[in-house]
């Protein structure tokens, strides 16, 4: 068989996962299962709450519900397979399965980058141009922005996945990771990875850099607008509406850039597993918690939902 056709040489990969610590398998399984269930409950609950409460039918919460959907999809691209592998002696994944997993993981990561930029622009318009906000962020424009965000994210996934799976994989086929990620896959290639590294770097710089630039410019204008508010209470209120978003941005960009832009020479697979787990599972779990704890409108919506449930239970008891 021709070596140049990588799919005829390697038909599957072996995922090591956390085998270097077999004594912790049960503890890690329970921990990661808990994180995944909390992620699903928190994000899906937030989506349902936003749809149920008419007071939350605004551009800000439209994008927030999309962020929750992306977070669920993002973590679901790796968590179910990882949890099942805890009980398998050979944690294998097919060549095609690996490509699909990488595509969705990277695609949803790119989508989240673009979505955070859209959310920053929304906050800029709301604070800097409140009178024009309804027209500048109409439902049609919001839907158009969302379509652009998902298109950009999946183009990111397609480009990066294609750049990796054009490489030749002729052995070894053991991935020292718990899912198919870019750095460990590149380290397995028996052909030159220079082109793939350049593509990876450019995509991260273009998508991550462009979205980060939108965030920085938007928040530069936001800070300038807030400083012009004479009331201290008004300034604090404006900053509080942005605090949750900024926390999400710092966590996501910080861990993502560390993982994808550090040099291969200093590449530590164990360290990368921890970082990947942080931005692939922990951040999606934290996002709804961060927004719920600091957002007054979501707290009020939760109170109304609890009150409605209490009333329903009283009616049923009669």
Reference 290, options 39, 120, 97; nearest CA is: 39
What's the confidence (pLDDT) of residue 268?
59
Strand partners for 92: 14
- In whole angstroms, give the CA distance from residue 197 to residue 182: 9
pLDDT per residue as tens digits for the range 269-299: 666 777 778 878 888 998 888 877 767 788 8
Q: Which H or E run includes 266?
A: none
- CB of 11 within 8 A of CB of 94? yes
Tell me the domain boundaries of the chain: 6-313
Pairing of strands 174-175, 12-15: parallel
- In whole angstroms, give the CA distance from residue 296 to residue 243: 12
Reference 100, options 159, 164, 161; nearest CA is: 161
- In whole angstroms, give the CA distance from residue 157 to residue 126: 31
Give 297's contacts (C-beta < 8 A, 6+ positions apart).
Answer: 55, 56, 61
For 44-56, b where at least 16 C-beta lie within 10 A, e where not — what string? eebbebbeebeeb
* Radius of gyration, CA atoms only, the chain: 22
Q: What is the DSSP string of 47-75?
A: HHHHHH-GGG-SHHHHHHHHHHHHHHHHH
What's the confidence (pLDDT) of residue 270?
65
Those residues of the chain that have pLDDT short of 70 are: 1-10, 19-23, 241, 256-271, 294, 310-318
DSSP 22: G
What's the confidence (pLDDT) of residue 257?
66
Locate 242 and state its tokens: 């942005």
- CB of 117 within 8 A of CB of 215? yes
- Looking up tokens 């294609």 gives 162
Task: Count CA atoms closer than 13 A to 88's CA, side-chain side.
Answer: 14
Q: Kindly report the pTM of this predicted structure.
A: 0.88
pLDDT per residue as tens digits for the range 42-76: 999 999 999 998 889 999 999 999 999 999 999 99
- In whole angstroms, give the CA distance from residue 193 to residue 108: 24
Reference 65, options 85, 44, 80; nearest CA is: 44
Superfamily the domain 6-313 falls into:
Rhodopsin 7-helix transmembrane proteins (1.20.1070.10)
- CA diameter of the chain: 75
């Amino acid at each position: 068989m021709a070596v140049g056709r990588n799919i005829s040489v390697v038909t599957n990969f072996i995922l090591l996962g956390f085998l270097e610590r077999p004594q912790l398998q049960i503890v890690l399984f329970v921990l990661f299962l808990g994180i995944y269930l909390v992620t699903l409950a928190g994000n899906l609950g937030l989506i349902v709450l936003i749809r149920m409460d008419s007071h939350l039918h605004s551009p800000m919460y439209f994008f927030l519900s999309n962020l929750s959907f992306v977070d669920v999809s993002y973590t679901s691209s790796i968590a179910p397979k990882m949890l099942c592998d805890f009980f398998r002696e050979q944690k294998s994944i097919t060549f095609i399965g690996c490509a699909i997993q990488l595509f969705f993981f990277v695609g949803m990561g790119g989508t989240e980058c673009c979505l955070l930029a859209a959310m920053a622009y929304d906050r800029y318009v709301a604070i800097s141009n409140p009178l024009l906000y309804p027209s500048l962020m109409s439902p049609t424009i919001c839907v158009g922005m969302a379509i652009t965000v998902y298109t950009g994210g999946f183009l990111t996934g397609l480009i990066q996945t294609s750049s990796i799976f054009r490489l030749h994989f002729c052995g070894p086929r053991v991935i020292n990771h718990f899912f198919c990620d870019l750095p460990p896959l590149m380290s397995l290639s028996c052909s030159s990875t220079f082109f793939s590294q350049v593509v990876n770097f450019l995509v991260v710089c273009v998508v991550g850099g462009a979205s980060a630039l939108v965030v920085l410019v938007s928040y530069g204008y936001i800070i300038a607008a807030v400083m012009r508010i004479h009331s201290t209470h008004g300034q604090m209120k404006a900053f509080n509406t942005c605090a949750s978003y900024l926390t999400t941005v710092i966590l996501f960009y910080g861990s993502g850039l560390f993982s994808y832009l550090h040099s291969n020479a200093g590449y530590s697979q164990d360290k990368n597993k921890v970082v990947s787990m942080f931005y692939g599972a922990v951040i999606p779990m934290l996002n709804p918690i961060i927004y719920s704890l600091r957002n007054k409108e979501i707290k009020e919506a939760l109170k109304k939902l609890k009150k409605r449930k209490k009333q329903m239970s009283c009616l049923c008891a009669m």
